[in-house]
A and B are shown apart, each in its own frame.
Chain A
């Protein structure tokens, strides 16, 4: 065959290839990540949280968990419920520096808000291994250091009997666990209680603040001061956004879309330096309490700032009373305690996060940042009947202490 014929054939083939390019398309399969039978009461743009396969959330479990959450009979001596330290009007915190348990033990750490707990990578201030609500809830119920609800092997049957005696639970447990014949009386009763409590906490969603309305496009939802504060918050000067980012306003976040490939975040904010070589007061040493590693001294999980204006006092031990003081500590690059048992210059803490560097800020700017933080309050969340005490009108139920 002559070269000119080869050339013509080649070009014909090439032209066919080009003219035969298929149309364009992109198919997407999220493997069910955006599907849930549960009404999460949140906007579509928020990705669904991770649920353990062994405890899928249902409305029935959520409602059973709500009853248990507010029930003082779920403690050794009937004096406290979960709601004692997690009160709705305070975004499920308690307003005190460190709460007391059923027997008077003072908890070493400040009560955390439960809003959006389902999205947190780790669930307590300093424990990197607690990643499931079902694991965590066992600690306040059965823990002994400190004693919170005070339930133990010795009294667990007595506590269970109090619950079994309440008519409301007969219906609620059967609805929540329809595949079990006697879910409050069988050997799975405590597991069922824990799974229901976890479902209620997992279902506490808070994405209805002025800030949310602003980011959804309502430019009037934030005041001028709050907008200025938001810009400061997201500025390279203050650096707040690095640890308090995204839709949960914390870098400790996971959801169905994410497979985190870095360790869960824990940060030292320079709050203490009691021995001059970076120590925090025991037992509040953060991640170090579990790992024993010096590099983990004073490392605590970055908190979500949603509803932060309602969750004073602040920091892991409640030792900072106001948001203004929190901002001043960051502005100083840490806290310098000049007297008292924990005196020390936290600004010099060797474990301090690199983003905790001093910055200059005026009083007006502090007010603006606080205005922004106040815009993160979800007023519907703290009054919504869905999260409220279901026993309010039940004369048989003790009032919450």
Chain B
């Protein structure tokens, strides 16, 4: 029974360095695989429509939920320890996208780790380590869908070329810094693009209580950043079936800085061998200072402050986890310039009704087998002004499918 508890526990305690291979594993080489498939009762937006949360400029891989069954993600990872301090990691991943040509296989991780003592240096293509929420994928989260704040501020998935230097003290304190080339939203990898971040975390474990909390600061620069979900290249009006209308996606760009600061915490309380309580939360605030513009020379200055986050209380009974994730976003934008009214509308920054995006997810996750979990979710989605309700049923498979122990 207790071994089944390890996965829910791990889900609730994802650290900022979740993607780093364990430094003391006995295995020299491991191959891990995961697959997440979900059936959803409804699509968030209509066919040939775009998902644009009012008051925000979105991008990256933040696709809307789609009706029906789909593979949310597939991952295949290889980790190889070269010696006690040095390891290499490769990971291929595929994520469901809103259009057929956006769901290919990507090389998400290709990095080396050098970890002498309390220090850890990573370099290559990797996920961000500063935010535990951002480091999690659908297989690792309780909910199948990414938090709204991460969809809006980071485009859901964050994989970039960069380097990380982290220090882990023996009192539960860890700190680190990362620099990024800028391939991941909201940065660009142009001459004046790129990103960097700082993070710190404290972990404490008592007899019954576990506690982790941290803070981070991320700064990105972008040049003519497009919403690559729908725009960014040569495009024309999408083809809609007879009788249906559609419109070309307005290719509005952003050039400027995005500074995001966040805090996160996780509280776990072990009632007895069968019962645990947990509480997770992360909050972040983005400051946007730049220019929105388009190909025909229209532009407007943007000064934006956007807040987002979620609270997720949960209760764990043996292999079952019941939780509710409550999310909220707020946006305050100011656009100034001759084309400000049009660019506000076309970029998605306009929010004429002062809509406050919210989402509530009630979920149940059952670790049915050591490597297989089932989950069901009921979601009230108010990311758009019209509320949407949907039900999800999914399966999660995660397994180390091969390892060598020749050390």
Contacting pair A259 B299 (CB below 8 A): yes
Contacting pair B344 A28 (CB below 8 A): yes
CB distance from A366 to the nearest CB of B (A): 22
Q: Give the complex CA separation of A366 and B331 in angstroms.
A: 51
Contacting pair B211 A3 (CB below 8 A): yes
B interface with A by C-beta (< 8 Å): 54-55, 204, 206, 209, 211, 213, 236, 263-265, 267, 279, 281, 283, 293, 296-299, 307-311, 328-342, 344, 349-352, 354-357
Count how many chain A residues have C-beta atoms less than 8 Å from C-beta atoms of the other chain.
36
Q: Give the complex CA separation of A234 and B236 in angstroms.
A: 9
A6-B211, A259-B299 given; A25·B351 CB < 8 A: yes
CB distance from B343 to the nearest CB of A (A): 8
Q: Give the complex CA separation of A234 and B352 in angstroms.
A: 32
12 cross-chain CB contacts under 8 A: A10-B211, A10-B213, A15-B281, A17-B283, A21-B356, A24-B55, A24-B355, A26-B331, A27-B335, A31-B337, A258-B338, A261-B297
Contacting pair B340 A30 (CB below 8 A): yes
**Chain A residues positioned under 8 Å from B338 (CB to CB):** 30-31, 33, 256-259
A interface with B by C-beta (< 8 Å): 3-4, 6-7, 10-11, 14-15, 17-18, 21-31, 33-34, 47, 234, 236, 246, 253-254, 256-262
Point out which of A26, A29, A236 has the most chain B C-beta atoms below 10 A from its C-beta: A26
**Chain A residues positioned under 8 Å from B209 (CB to CB):** 3-4, 7
Name the contact of B265 in the complex, choosing from A10, A23, A26, A29 (C-beta under 8 A): A10
Name the contact of B206 in the complex, choosing from A4, A256, A258, A260 (C-beta under 8 A): A4
**Can you name the residue of chain B whose Cβ is closest to the Cβ of A20?**
B307
Contacting pair A29 B340 (CB below 8 A): yes
A7-B209, A23-B354, A258-B296 given; A18·B283 CB < 8 A: yes
Contacting pair A24 B211 (CB below 8 A): no
**Chain B residues positioned under 8 Å from A11 (CB to CB):** 265, 267, 279, 281
Q: Give the complex CA separation of A266 and B236 in angstroms.
A: 23
Contacting pair B296 A246 (CB below 8 A): yes
Q: Give the complex CA separation of A243 and B213 in angstroms.
A: 57
CB distance from A145 to the nearest CB of B (A): 34
Q: Give the complex CA separation of A10 and B264 in angstroms.
A: 9
Q: Give the complex CA separation of A17 and B354 in angstroms.
A: 20
Q: Give the complex CA separation of A27 and B206 in angstroms.
A: 49
**Chain B residues positioned under 8 Å from A4 (CB to CB):** 206, 209, 211
**Chain A residues positioned under 8 Å from B335 (CB to CB):** 26-29
Contacting pair B341 A30 (CB below 8 A): yes
Contacting pair A18 B354 (CB below 8 A): no
CB distance from B133 to the nearest CB of A (A): 13
**Chain A residues positioned under 8 Å from B307 (CB to CB):** 21-22
CB distance from A48 to the nearest CB of B (A): 9
**Chain A residues positioned under 8 Å from B309 (CB to CB):** 14, 17-18, 21
